[in-house]
Amino acid sequence: MATPAHNANGHRRRELTKRVKAEETHCALCDKPVDKTLTYTSGEHGPKCSRLDCKGCIPHPMRGEVDEDLPRSRGGSPYDRKNCRLMHRDCNNWKGKRTIAEARAKLHGETLAPLPKPRPLGSY
Ligand SMILES: [Zn+2]
Ligand SMILES: [Zn+2]
């Protein structure tokens, strides 16, 4: 199996992705914990499928994914640890081309509930 030169950056990105997933536990957007065991909901290979971006399986919407705070299209580096954060797949999709700060502002502006959320016991 050959390793073309243009894959060098892919390797760098994979190493950083691994590091972010190891270091972060909560979604940078919604602040909820990320279940790192989630991969796919269903499909050809089932939840055990370990292929990244497998075409035959449906990614779990709450699985953890690593994305740039400042998107690549806006000059953000996909190799800078400080620019890469752990997020739920759904949150990441929703974030789109926004920065995390922009997405959070929009998130809180749009979904601010009229009633305060009940806090779990023991959180005071
Ligand atoms: Zn989230
Ligand atoms: Zn699969």
Q: How far is the CA of 61 from the centre of ligand 2 (A)?
A: 15
pLDDT at 111: 53
- List alpha helices for 61-120, DSSP H: 89-95, 100-111
pLDDT-above-90 percentage for the chain? 57
Q: How far is the CA of 57 from the centre of ligand 2 (A)?
A: 4
For the chain, domain boundaries? 25-109
Phi, psi of 38 (to 5 degrees): -75, 135
Phi, psi of 90 (to 5 degrees): -60, -45
Q: Which amino acid is at 72?
A: R
Q: How far is the CA of 6 from the centre of ligand 1 (A)?
A: 32
Q: 65-92: per-residue pLDDT in tens?
A: 999 999 999 999 999 999 999 999 999 9
Does 4 score more than 70 pLDDT?
A: no
- The ligand whose atoms approach the alpha carbon of 27 most closely is 1
